[in-house]
Amino acid sequence: MSDKFVLAGKEFTSRLIIGTGKYRSHEEMKAAHIASGAEMVTVAVNRVPLDRKSESFLDHLNPAMQILPNTAGCYDADHAIRTARLAREALETEWIKLEVIGDPITLLPDNEQTLEAAKVLVAEGFIVLPYFTDDLIMAKKLLDAGCPAVMPLAAPIGSGMGVQNPSNLRIMREQLPDATIIVDAGVGVPSDAAIAMELGADAILMNTAIAEAGDASAMATAMNLAVQAGRLGYLSGRMPRRLYASASSPIAGAIK
Amino acid sequence: MTIFINGEARELDGVSTLAGLLDALELPKRRVAIELNKHVIRKQDWESTNVADNDKVEVVHFVGGG
């Protein structure tokens, strides 16, 4: 079955997008990236330490992978916009994962500031992929603003809690059948990724679940398989849920 | 003159341009971006953009993130 993932006109085979943070070593990260099958990775924009003499972090990434810079650490639209502009200048890419955080304990998004920043960045020609609360109305507003996809959270960033509101994702899928929905943040284990995909997500973005796993490469393989399994499960059309049993073997003809 | 670079005040004399600033601080020029007083300055303009006393400069690069 041909099932390409197309995002802003670019075709991907993998529906898994992964991060580059929290790995114990560059070697471990590189191995996990290969195992994941991912074709797009996120990076963060940060002040250069004034004593920096080392090479660029980007040298540790497979050059074939699409780099998606993020605006992590920004608490208002203005900072996110400035960060996006800096990322575009340094990387010569229009792609940006827009993240405007509302508070440092939960890292939950500030949806209002996110929308404001999205409008400005879309007008400036950015391909804006916004991280936001899993809310249908907010998703509609972000799509109306010109975002080519929306990225609802499954649970707080780095929490590994899995899909906390499956109904919200299901409603979003049903009400926005043509939208590209990427579940971003909160996945902890492969079953979480599979559940999000079974609910109809088009792709999943994760970082900590792989980077903090005991064996990051093995977990990356597992996540790759889980995303594929969940996708196939969604496309296959699940059986109806029933409160009571429905026998798989014929009742008639059993010996008496 | 005093330049605030990445939030740190630095006394820099004999520096006139952004490119000169990077050289003086021995900062990398590849895959970095620069903001001068909250405006991105394109790489091709680093040589011709002057810095002045009390300017605020941000020099960013990329790090691991999600």
Q: Which of B5, B6, B60 is closest, CB to CB, to A86?
A: B60
B37 touches chain A (CB under 8 A): no
Q: In 10 A of CB A84, how many CB atoms?
A: 27
A98 near A128, Cβ under 8 Å? yes
Distance between CA atoms of residues A22 and A26, nearest Å: 10
* DSSP H/E element including A168: helix A166-175
Give residue B45's pLDDT.
96
Over residues A38-95, the pLDDT tens digits come to 999 999 999 999 887 667 899 899 999 999 999 999 999 999 999 999 999 999 999 9
Nearest CA in chain B to A55: B28
Q: Minimal Cα distance from A87: which residue of B?
A: B33
pLDDT confidence band for A159 (50 / 70 / 90): very high
Q: Closest approach of chain A CAs to the CA of B18, in angstroms?
A: 15
Residue A214: predicted pLDDT:
97
- For B14, left (φ over 0), alpha (ψ -120 to 50), or beta? left
Q: Is the pLDDT of residue A179 over 90?
A: yes
Within 8 A by CB and 6+ apart from B26, the residues are A53
Q: Say if B23 is an interface residue toward chain A (CB within 8 Å).
A: no
Of the candidates B43, B59, B65, which has its C-beta nearest A48's C-beta? Answer: B59
Q: Cβ contact (<8 Å) for A50 and B33?
A: no
Burial A48-68 (b: 16+ CB within 10 A, else e): beeebeeebbbebbeeeeebb
Question: In chain A, what are the domains?
Answer: 5-48+56-236 (3.20.20.70)
The string of DSSP codes covering A89-158 is HHH---EEEE--BS-TTT--B-HHHHHHHHHHHHHTT-EEEEEE-S-HHHHHHHHHTT-S-BEE-SSSTT
Tell the CATH topology of B2-60: Ubiquitin-like (UB roll) (3.10.20)
| Closest CB from B6, B31, B38 relative to A90 | B31
Minimal-distance CA residue of chain B relative to A18:
B66
CA distance A210 to A33: 9
Q: Does B65 contact chain A (CB < 8 Å)?
A: yes
Interchain CB contacts (distance < 8 Å): A and B: 108
Extract the tokens encoding A140. Answer: 């509609």
> How far apart, in Å, are the Cα atoms of A123 and each of A84, B14, B15?
13, 40, 36
* Pairing relationship of beta strands A10-12 and A5-7 according to DSSP bridges: antiparallel
Q: What is the ipTM of this complex?
A: 0.94
Q: For chain A, what is the mean pLDDT?
A: 95
Closest to A183 measured CA to CA, from A195, A175, A174: A195
Exactly one of A4, A22, A97, A141 is catalytic; name it.
Answer: A97
- Quote the pLDDT of residue A55: 77
Verify whether the Cβ–Cβ distance A48 to B63 is below 8 Å.
no
- Please state the rounded mean pLDDT for residues A194-198: 98
Residue numbers of A between 106 and 125 with CB closer than 8 Å to B = none
Which pLDDT belongs to residue A1? 57
- pLDDT-based confidence at residue A34 (cuts at 50, 70, 90): very high
Question: Span A23-28, mean pLDDT?
Answer: 95
Which of B26, B42, B62 comes nearest A56 by C-beta?
A: B62
Q: Is A256 an active-site residue?
A: no
Closest-CA residue to A130 (of A181, A75, A197) = A181
Task: Locate the domains of chain B by residue range.
Answer: 2-60
Residues A152, A139: contact at Cβ < 8 Å?
A: yes
Residue A2 reports pLDDT greater than 80: no
